[in-house]
Structure 1
Amino acid sequence: MKFPASETLAAGSSNINGLERAGHLELWQEAFGRPPPKHLSPRLMRRILIWDLQCRLLGGVPVKTDRVLKQIAAGKAPAGTTKPGSHLIREWNGRTYQVEVKGKGYVMDGKTYRSLSAIARRITGAHWSGPRFFGLT
């Protein structure tokens, strides 16, 4: 059950809302290539199907946003998301290092650094990507 490309989002949403469960299941299979999760409520299924229609008609999520969402789903903090007041902790060679994120830099052992890479270099003695060293990428 495919909607014509020229159909408006409002009309498509109305059509989805008017379908019975069997219609929702058919649309889901077409949209995602598999049946919906077993305990997905009909209301949430309709909302997801309407979101999918919106993406097809108006364009989906930007690539950069999609990448960040996938990182979050994988349990990784996206790069550049550290906020002032956050603390980063890393164990290296048996010692635990703690870094506090400030508005303009990072503080470790009372000394302010401009970048996480500078701190990683200080800890390891080698060139490291600071965000990678602290598990942010």
Structure 2
Amino acid sequence: MNDPVPALGSIIRNSRGSNCSWNDSKWLPHFLRHEVERGIAYRLQERAWGGLPIDLCRELDGRATISVPGQKPEKTGPRLRLKPGNRLVRRWRGTTYSVLVTEGGFLFESRSYSSLSTIATEITGTRWSGPRFFGLTERAA
């Protein structure tokens, strides 16, 4: 199999027309050009040899951070992965509540629900994020 990355320059030139060169600073600022090149090179490699395994992609997504200039980076946190049979337990105002994760959603007090937030709202009497109520996500600092 041929290495697709060395052909990157000609692919970009051909896609932009014969009158433009990849080094034309009017098309893209210099510091972004390298990021675009890296992104295109990755996609070419991904098409030729396949991408990362899905479980590794999920792990990387869970470790990602959101960065805003002048602010502390915000961790996106791992994605919620509940499996059928998991039990979520929460003590609220002296009463312990238990929710069973099922194939189609959640089972709480012998009733099926599609949303943890609906269950949390029913327990508290006020609107809550279900994942936050059951301790599945961290509270923002």
So what's the TM-score if we normalise by structure 1? 0.46
Greater relative contact order structure (CA < 8 Å, 6+ sep)? 1
